[in-house]
Structures are given as structure tokens and as C-alpha cells.
Amino acid sequence: MRLAHCSDLHLLSLEGAGVLDFANKRWIGGLNLLTNRGRHHQSEIFEAMIEDLNQQEVDHILVTGDVTNLALEQEFRFARELFGRFSLSPEQITVIPGNHDAYVQKGAKHFGTHFQDFFSSDSAHASNETWPCIRRRGPVSILGLSTSLQTPWFTAYGVVGDEQLERLRTALCAPELEDTLRLVAIHHSPAEPRAHSRIRGLRDREKLYKLLEEVGAELILHGHEHLDLTASLPGATGDVPVRGIQSGTYDAGGGASHKRARYRIYEIADTCEAGKRPTMLGEELRLWDPAGKHFVQEETVRASGSVSASA
């Protein structure tokens, strides 16, 4: 199975936005857009990513939040239209919310309205009203958390919450998923030192660590930091890899490749021995090339440790 991971699209549409839309926390985000980082997120890059992904024969796409910038309804509508260009259906694409999608309280409602099909749980599992979403896809079970809530001004932290943690525990222990690779998708980085930040970290990370030590998981993918990050957390049957990724729409110019948009494809074995879980076979990184205005293969890593650079 080939599973692509991208994150932090920060798609912006101010079409029809009025002054009243900014009479809340959004004015800070609006200011941020005008002054620095926001200017470097380009929806054209996401359009190129969609075209590229449609050629890569992936089976599933995971997007770990911050689909929008200011949680305006027109941003969700714009994002949803773009997602319609994927050759995969919403059943084959999982989207979880980031803090920007919950920038103001209405954000969660808009996210639900426009992206419900992209996080609906399998009928055998939790109701669609609650997180995590639980989606079994081939050898992988995707357990998608929501850590996003409206936070006070100048903060961007996340919380899993005790009830969601209990539902996650149930899913991680579910007998019907015991032959799957358990992938926990989360917007906020759960690994130190990033998770520690009072401003933008994961407040109840210690509770998540305890759960992982008790019941384990095979892979955690996150966004939020706009950086490729590799870490691990102790799990019940071994360390759990934790991987973050740079934004899918970022290009600050200047050529520095670590500041350029990208996505990664993980290859996972379709079968496994009885009593075991499927393993990771390798991964590929595809990087935005601003000169060619397309994505190119940057690196391929096999589970054996061999690495091949871009063509």
C-alpha cells in the first residue's frame, strides 16, 4: 500500500469576507498573512501537488490539518473544490483539522460541513460525531485525532482530551484491527521538545505517552511545525516512529530546499505473518521545484536502509 502524507496547506480565500469576519481572533491571522509567513503559502503549489499525486499511484492520502488559514467558510469551500481534483475519492483521502481550521469557534462546524466525507469513520467503529475517526484501509488503520480548538489570542496549542484518549485506546486495542499497522494522525507534534511549548505544543502529551506505553502504535504522522521532523516515542512493543512534514504549499524563495513544499509517500507491506502487524517497506519524498513548477522525486529510502537520491 502506498500512503501519501501532506500537511498545513493554509489555503486562503478572502472572497466575500467582510469586516465583521475579522472582528475576532482572525485579525491577528489576517495581520500575519500580510506581514510574513502567510504570503509564502501558495494554492498553486497545492494544485501542482494534486496533479503530481494523481500520477503517483497512491492508495491513500493523509492530510494532517491546517487546510485553511482563518477558518473562513469560503476557505473551506475553496479547499473542498480543490480536493475534488484528486483522482482518489473522499473514502481514499483522510483529512483531520489543525488549529487554523478551528481558529474561531465556527471553524469546527465549517470543517464538518465541507470535509465530513474525508473523516467519516468505518461503520463498524465510532460514530461520525466524535474523534478519532477510524478508517481501515488495506493493511493500515488510520486513527485520526482532533487536537484543535479555539485557543486564546497568540496561542496555538492542542489538546487531545480524556474522552478522545479513551476512544483512541479502544481503537488501538480493537481485535478487528490487530492485523493492521496502526497509524495515529495528529496535527500537533506529540514529541518533545516541540510538544512542550506552552504556546503551540500539545498540552496533554503525557497522557498520550502513557497510552502509547500501554498499548502501542506503529506510526504517528503530524503537521503543525512546518518542518520535516523525525522522532520516536516509547511504545508497548517498541519505539513508535513520529514523523512531521513541511507545509504542502510553502515556498519562501531563495532556493533553500528545507523551506520548500513537499509530501512523502510511505510504502507499507500488504500482508503480514500471523500474529504480527504489517511493516513499513520504504518511503519517498517529493519536493516542490519552483523553477519547473512541479514536484520532483527527492529521495527514496528503503526499510533496509538504502537511500537513493533524486534522479
Choice between 164 and 246, CB closer to Fe ion: 246
- Looking up cell 487536537, which residue turns up? 147
| Residue-wise burial string across 242-275, b where 16 or more C-beta atoms lie within 10 A, e elsewhere | bbbbbbbbbbeeeeeeebbbbbbbbbbeeeeeee
Integer CA distances (angstroms), 45 to 30, 55, 171, 294, in order: 21, 16, 35, 8
Smallest gap from Cβ 150 to Fe ion, in A, equals: 13
Indicate whether 98 belongs to the interface with Fe ion (CB under 5 A): yes
Choice between 98 and 107, CB closer to Fe ion: 98
Choice between 94 and 141, CB closer to Fe ion: 94
* Cα 257 → chain centroid: 21
Show the cell assigned to 124. Answer: 463498524
Indicate whether 94 belongs to the interface with Fe ion (CB under 5 A): no
Smallest gap from Cβ 176 to Fe ion, in A, equals: 32
Rounded to whole angstroms, the Cα distance separating 50 from 109 reads 25
Choice between 222 and 277, CB closer to Fe ion: 222
Judged by DSSP in three states, 12 sits in coil
Judged by DSSP in three states, 287 sits in strand
Choice between 61 and 177, CB closer to Fe ion: 61
Contact stretch for Fe ion (CB under 5 A) within 21-29, 177-185, 221-229, 234-242 = 221-229
CB 292 within 8 A of CB 52: no
Contact stretch for Fe ion (CB under 5 A) within 32-40, 98-106, 124-132, 253-261 = 98-106
Chosen residue from 222, 224, 262, 286 binding Fe ion by CB under 5 A? 224
Integer CA distances (angstroms), 311 to 31, 265, 287, 296, in order: 40, 17, 12, 9
Choice between 38 and 161, CB closer to Fe ion: 38
Rounded to whole angstroms, the Cα distance separating 38 from 70 reads 11
Contact stretch for Fe ion (CB under 5 A) within 52-60, 114-122, 219-227, 303-311 = 219-227
Choice between 96 and 172, CB closer to Fe ion: 96
CB 160 within 8 A of CB 208: yes
Chosen residue from 42, 99, 151, 189 binding Fe ion by CB under 5 A? 99
Smallest gap from Cβ 69 to Fe ion, in A, equals: 9
Contact stretch for Fe ion (CB under 5 A) within 6-14, 33-41, 257-265, 298-306 = 6-14
Backbone phi, then psi, for 135, in 5-degree steps? -135, 115
Rounded to whole angstroms, the Cα distance separating 252 from 311 reads 24
**7-66: which residues touch Fe ion (CB under 5 A)?**
8, 66
Choice between 14 and 301, CB closer to Fe ion: 14
Q: Half-sphere exposure of 281 toward its Cβ, with a 13 Å CA cutoff?
A: 12
Smallest gap from Cβ 106 to Fe ion, in A, equals: 18
Indicate whether 222 belongs to the interface with Fe ion (CB under 5 A): no
- Looking up cell 512493543, which residue turns up? 237
Smallest gap from Cβ 98 to Fe ion, in A, equals: 4
Residues that bind Fe ion (CB under 5 A): 8, 66, 98-99, 224
